Copies of this chain bind each other. A is one copy, B any other.
Amino acid sequence: MPDASLQQRLFTALCDIPLIDPHSHINPHQAAAKTLDDLLGYHYYTELAHSAGMDQGPLASDFDPKERTRQILKFAQRYQNTVQWSWMVELCQTFFDWQGDSITEQDADCLWNAAQSKLSQPDWEEQVLKISNVEKVFLTNDFDDPLTGINSSRYVPCLRTDDLVFKLHEPAVRQRLAQATGMDVHDASTLKNAVSKLFVHFKQHGAKACAISLPPSFVPGAVTELGFNDALKQNDHATVASGVFWYLAECCRTCELPFDLMIGVNRRVYEKGVFQGQDLFDQRTSLIQYADLFNAYPEVKFCISVLTSSQNQELASYSWIFPNVITSGHWWYSNVPTLIERDLKLRLQCVPSTKQIGYYSDAYKLEFILPKFNMYRRLLSKVLAEEYVLAQKWSEERAITLGAELLRGNTVSIFE
């Protein structure tokens, strides 16, 4: 199988490229896992266990962590076919010297101990980063994060703005905003001042992006100051959201920050779902909803993530036409190999290579960066091998150069 060895060579070459992970939920003050529970507690495993029949008792905060991992491992037998579980197996093999291709309930104690002997080492964070060949990791920071004490040569702040846009009517959010900025927001003008202040604060601490997740029905549009003030008074949350969002784009322009738009998620669809396992989507959404935004802010780089393969076709076309639309990663429900492969192939076939951010981990713990990026690198190697080296007679070197743009080069140039 010359094909397989070609893919393997490309994969190896891509693995040699130090990673910059352009989107994660890593806590920079506790980036690596402390126990196996931190890893099996990843929402993918708790939500799949629950979906497969586990009640939520084991997820209570006072439940014994070791017993919780046993429960999750038990139910994992029902979803050992999933790609999410394959990340866990590869993680254990890579970091805990796990032998064998599966993990069962019977392995609970043994795996706990194997994990513990590694996770408790004082330099574990360094080890994980080194083994994973990770150079930098982008964070997701609350707007009121003081951003102090972060090793900024390694962890890159990003301003997450969901709360500002969609929860400005909540007293707690207003209070957080007041505390963070020293300003009381009660109209368009004070909002702009407060938000500008946040941007300055984030820029000063090395932030490289503004980010937000958006529901499928969201249609951005400019709001006049008068309209915004009225909306604020009348609790017209939708108009307030539009106004704040539009002003964020304005600040991205002023501060020269790319704006990460993660489009398509409905929150709390499964009301009694586990923590972070309640959100789903509605396929009936279109990037045409963002046409005014893209036209209004040609200077802002919009890095777009979508949730479905059919919207990926829109994304590829919009990025092919709009200079300021960039394809970004394979997000959440579309972060599954068969979808990644077809979405990636389409982007490669019609979007300039310089406008594609290949992948981000979205991880909560450093240990997941490697298996998730490996999944992506395998698919990238496959597509490069089939579509470029074999079908178009590209040299392997040229194909690797293309892969390197997606994996790292564009992240560097887009986020500077």
Contacts and interface: CB of A to CB of B under 8 A. Distances in A.
Interface of A: 47-48, 50-53, 78-84, 86, 101, 266, 269-273, 277-288, 291, 294-295, 298, 308-311, 313-314, 316-323, 333-334, 336-339, 342, 345-346, 348-355, 387-388, 392-394, 402
Contact of A308 (B84, B288, B310): B310
A78 B401 CA distance: 12
Contacts of A272: 295, 298
A406 to B, nearest CB: 10
A355 B308 CA distance: 21
A286 B284 contact: yes
A252 B348 CA distance: 40
Q: Which of A47, A81, A270, A284 has the most CB of B within 10 A?
A: A81
A348 B402 CA distance: 30
A314 B339 CA distance: 13
A271 B349 CA distance: 24
A284 B281 contact: no
Given A51-B320, A81-B402, A316-B336, 15 more contacts: A51-B352, A52-B354, A81-B353, A82-B348, A82-B349, A269-B321, A270-B294, A272-B295, A277-B321, A280-B317, A281-B288, A281-B314, A283-B286, A283-B311, A338-B349
B317 A351 contact: no
Given A288-B281, A338-B345, A320 B350 contact: no
A74 to B, nearest CB: 13
A353 B277 CA distance: 18
